[in-house]
Amino acid sequence: MTGGNAVAERIAEFIEDNGELYDLIVTTQDWHIDPGAHFSETPDFVDTWPPHGVAGTDEAELHPAIAELEFNASVKKGQYAAAYSGFEGKDDDGHHLDAILEEAEIEDVDVVGIAESHCVKETALDALEAGFQVRVISDLTVPVDAAQGEAAREEMREAGVSYITSDDASHAFPKIPEVESTD
């Protein structure tokens, strides 16, 4: 997939500039131990993939630009089966993403990352199904390919996912006004 590193850098920059606008920041990542038929020597890049995100390898770790950031929780998915949605994963204490969001009283979810056509799409759709208002930040994601990306965007929009840009997202929350001292 072309553009994954660039997306990670843009996500990191967005969080550095706007992280204080969010009540909770959660990372999700593939953490494959033995995902069965998800890995293939002849992948179709729809349902089967070459080995990736193998637990304990550098490739399974968060991108360095993102790993340096402060976040509230990290969810790992796909240990023993294909898992595209962050809602299929758990944190190190065994809590699923929906429980983490519920505990923090989150109502609105922004989804970013790779791949838009798979993990972003499934996470966004599962968030909708769980009752959250969901936005995908369009310039902070990239699909496997253009055709799969367009199909994913259409499916998400039809389901009720909103698409915004990172610039729109950074202005969508009210900022706390600065108070000038009169002393």
Q: Where are the domains of the chain?
A: 4-171
The matching CATH number, chosen from 1.10.940.10, 3.40.50.12660, 3.40.50.2000, 3.40.50.850, for 4-171 is: 3.40.50.850
CA angle, 101 as apex, 38 and 94 as ends, to 5°?
55
Bridge-based pairing state of the strands 108-114 and 133-142: parallel
Question: Distance between CA 10 and CA 66 in Å, rounded?
Answer: 10
pLDDT of residue 46: 84
Question: CA nearest 161: which of 96, 119, 110?
Answer: 110
Q: Tell me the backbone φ, ψ of residue 48, rounded to 5 degrees.
A: -125, 150
Q: What pLDDT does 149 receive?
A: 95
- Tell me what pLDDT residue 178 has: 45
- The SS3 of residue 90 is strand
Is the Cβ–Cβ distance between 160 and 128 less than 8 Å? yes
pLDDT, averaged per 10 consecutive residues of the chain (183 residues), comes to 85 94 94 93 89 92 94 95 95 97 95 95 97 96 94 97 92 49 45
- Amino acid at position 167, single letter: D
Cβ pair 62, 27 in contact under 8 A: yes
112 contact partners, CB below 8 Å, separation of at least 6: 7, 11, 14, 120, 136, 137, 140, 141
Query: What are all long-range contacts of 54-60, with beta carbons under 8 Å and residues at least 24 apart?
Result: 55/31, 55/79, 60/29, 60/30, 60/31, 60/32
Measured over the CA atoms of residue 141, residue 146, residue 152 and residue 155, the dihedral's sign is positive
pLDDT of 2 reads 67
